[in-house]
Structure 1
Amino acid sequence: MVARASSVMTRGVVTVRPDSPLEDARALLTGNRFSALPVVDRGYRLVGIVSTLDVLRAEVEGRAGARVGDVMTREPMAMSPDSPVTILSHRLRRYGERRVMPIVERGVLVGVVTRGDLLRPPDRRSMFDRLLGAEPDDPELPPTDEARVGTTAGEVMTPLADLVVAEPSTPVSAAAAWLSANRLTALPVLDQDDHLLGLVSEADLVPDRLSGRRGPTAARVGEAMTTGVTAVRHDVPLVKVARRMIKHRWRVLPVLGDDDRVVGMVSRGDLLRAESPPPEPDAPAATGTPPPE
């Protein structure tokens, strides 16, 4: 039996309107750990999609006060509920920037499928529940990330203590479950001394049968991870980090300390949540006789 998009898609989708302030999209993306939001009109018809990359680019360009419709991708790729999951997987994996596929029926948005959805275990509801359209139990979602104040990668990153980290010996099945449950793009793979060995991402693990890939053939993360990944130093200014992430379309960057050990990860979401430190108070006026020249 061919699995269809309707069997893996998420219903009850969070959306925004094209006339919504970009700040609204920013809050929804960061508060829910979403990478993109479908944009719909009053009739719930899909008119675009807005991503963390779109919002981050607008902020770097000084357009944070824009409307969603000004920065969204118009006429985004979408699929129907009857689309085979094999084609869905292929498109979500082939197009590296795409993590969210809108599911549309007669022009109306009815759901989305993410790479994380494709990494979840098969639906274990009874046949009776599936026929009635009953929704599966919602997984326990991770807590909302807190905004951090700072101007460098190290000040706004998610620190190592709060990260989900893999080792080369971690089972691939465990890494896939962690990525899906926590709505993460990638996990850092570290050795016992916290040195960076690579990243294991959704794209590394999502099956793509149309490309001859039934799923990761490796049993352990060390055989499936991407090596030679780029990292950033903890003292690099946020503007520079943001511009590099926009240019290369990176979603996350490991952050290294002075000893070249991983101290955290910085994501697009971290950059969008970041708050600038309050301005320093004006220095008190000098009193007394000034020193000689």
Structure 2
Amino acid sequence: MAVRARDVMTHLLVTVRPEEPVARARRLLADHGFGALPVVDPDGRIVGIVGAADLLDLPEPQARTATVGSVMCTPVLTAGPDTEVHVLDHRLARYGGHRVMPIVERGRLVGVVTRGDLLRRRAHGGVIERLVGHLRGTHRRVPASTGRVLRVVGSRPGPATGADEPPHTLLCARDVMNGHGLVTVTPETPVERAVELMSVHHVSEMPVVDGRGVVVGVVGETDMPPDRTWHATTVAAVMTTDVVTLGPDASYDEMTRVLAPGGLRSVPITEDGVLRGVVSRRDLI
């Protein structure tokens, strides 16, 4: 039986309106860890999408007064609840710059499907497949030892403190890089385990490090082959080895250039090659 959008989509939606301030979109993206938000009208009809990349280059004076409608992307490619997942996979791979496909029924937004949703389905199979596997004793979990959670130097900026808070353009990488525990893999990690880690930790890509913590690559959702042959594959076979990194003292402008629209979604922060943290677009907005 074909698996369709309604079987994998997320129903609990976080949306914004075109007339709302950009500041609200920024807060929602940061609070929920999303890369993009659907923009809807009062009737729940989708009118655009706004993502972290759309907000990254917005000059601060403009950001204080801009509305979501002035920066959102439109028109929006959508799909229906009965669209088969292989069609969604193709559309997201080819057209899904925001990594999200809005699901629309009778003109109204009813859910979203992300690349992560499709990847989780491929990794874990359907409900019936998992149940049969448990009954037969064939459903297996990849050992947790094949992935890592590293503690990294640095922390996110705390809540706004008024006059004491430095202007965001004066921040450097060590001020904003992820300091809550960083998920990494090694070249020897099975791809199946990498998929599980991305699913559990809700990340779209991870640094690949060697035994000394030196960054040797990056692996993400878009690196995964379109079929399930990767169950017998290691990260080394699919990772990107041409990795752009920045140092802990990299300026806001340097980070923005690397993470600008059309560029990277995240950048490893290294010191003498050793991973110290990661900065994503969401960290800069």
* TM-score, normalised by the number of residues in structure 1: 0.78
Contact 1:60 1:243 in 2 (8 A): no
Residue 124 of structure 1 corresponds to which residue in structure 2?
Answer: 127
Quote the Cα distance in structure 1 between the aligned partners of 2:262 and 2:38: 23
User: What is the CA-CA distance between 1:249 and the residue it aligns to?
Assistant: 2.5
Give 1:45's aligned amino acid: R
User: What is the CA-CA distance between 1:50 and the residue it aligns to?
Assistant: 0.4
Contact 1:4 1:81 in 2 (8 A): yes
What does 1:195-206 align with in structure 2 at a 5 Å threshold? 195-205=214-224
User: What is the CA-CA distance between 1:215 and the residue it aligns to?
Assistant: 5.7
Secondary structure of residue in 2 paired with 1:26: helix
Residue 154 of structure 1 corresponds to which residue in structure 2?
Answer: 174
User: What is the CA-CA distance between 1:154 and the residue it aligns to?
Assistant: 2.1
Residue 270 of structure 2 corresponds to which residue in structure 1?
Answer: 256
Q: What per-residue deviation string (whole Å, max 9, x for no partner) do you get for residues 40-89 of structure 1?
A: 00100010000011121224684343100000011211111111100111
Whichever of the two has the greater Rg, that structure is 1
Cα-Cα RMSD = 2.2
Residue 231 of structure 1 corresponds to which residue in structure 2?
Answer: 245
User: What is the CA-CA distance between 1:123 and the residue it aligns to?
Assistant: 4.2
Give 1:269's aligned amino acid: R
User: What is the CA-CA distance between 1:122 and the residue it aligns to?
Assistant: 3.2
1:176 and 2:179 equivalent? no
Structure 1 unaligned regions, length at least 5: 127-144, 273-293
Quote the Cα distance in structure 2 between the aligned partners of 1:56 and 1:71: 11
Residue 243 of structure 1 corresponds to which residue in structure 2?
Answer: 257
Residue 235 of structure 2 corresponds to which residue in structure 1?
Answer: 221
User: What is the CA-CA distance between 1:178 and the residue it aligns to?
Assistant: 1.3
Quote the Cα distance in structure 2 between the aligned partners of 1:91 and 1:216: 21
Moved more, 247-256 or 195-204: 247-256
Q: What per-residue deviation string (whole Å, max 9, x for no partner) do you get for residues 65-122 of structure 1?
A: 3100000011211111111100111121223623111001121101000111112123
Secondary structure of residue in 2 paired with 1:178: helix
Quote the Cα distance in structure 2 between the aligned partners of 1:113 and 1:91: 11
Structure 2 unaligned regions, length at least 5: 130-154, 159-165
Contact 2:190 2:231 in 1 (8 A): no
Q: Relative to structure 1, is the Cα distance of residues 168 and 60 closer, same or farther in structure 2, using a 3 angstrom cutoff?
A: farther
Give 2:176's aligned amino acid: V
Quote the Cα distance in structure 1 between the aligned partners of 2:93 and 2:173: 28
Q: Relative to structure 1, is the Cα distance of residues 96 and 199 closer, same or farther in structure 2, using a 3 angstrom cutoff?
A: farther
Q: Relative to structure 1, is the Cα distance of residues 14 and 96 closer, same or farther in structure 2, using a 3 angstrom cutoff?
A: closer
Moved more, 101-110 or 176-185: 176-185
Q: What per-residue deviation string (whole Å, max 9, x for no partner) do you get for residues 150-203 of structure 1?
A: 7111221114x7100101111211111111222212110000111111111011
Contact 1:147 1:270 in 2 (8 A): no
Quote the Cα distance in structure 2 between the aligned partners of 1:268 and 1:85: 28
Quote the Cα distance in structure 2 between the aligned partners of 1:104 and 1:124: 24
Quote the Cα distance in structure 2 between the aligned partners of 1:162 and 1:36: 23
Secondary structure of residue in 1 paired with 2:192: helix
Quote the Cα distance in structure 1 between the aligned partners of 2:216 and 2:34: 26
Secondary structure of residue in 1 paired with 2:14: coil
Residue 15 of structure 1 corresponds to which residue in structure 2?
Answer: 15
* TM-score, normalised by the number of residues in structure 2: 0.80
Contact 1:166 1:190 in 2 (8 A): yes
Quote the Cα distance in structure 1 between the aligned partners of 2:31 and 2:197: 19
Quote the Cα distance in structure 1 between the aligned partners of 2:219 and 2:59: 29
Quote the Cα distance in structure 2 between the aligned partners of 1:234 and 1:68: 32
Quote the Cα distance in structure 1 between the aligned partners of 2:276 and 2:235: 20
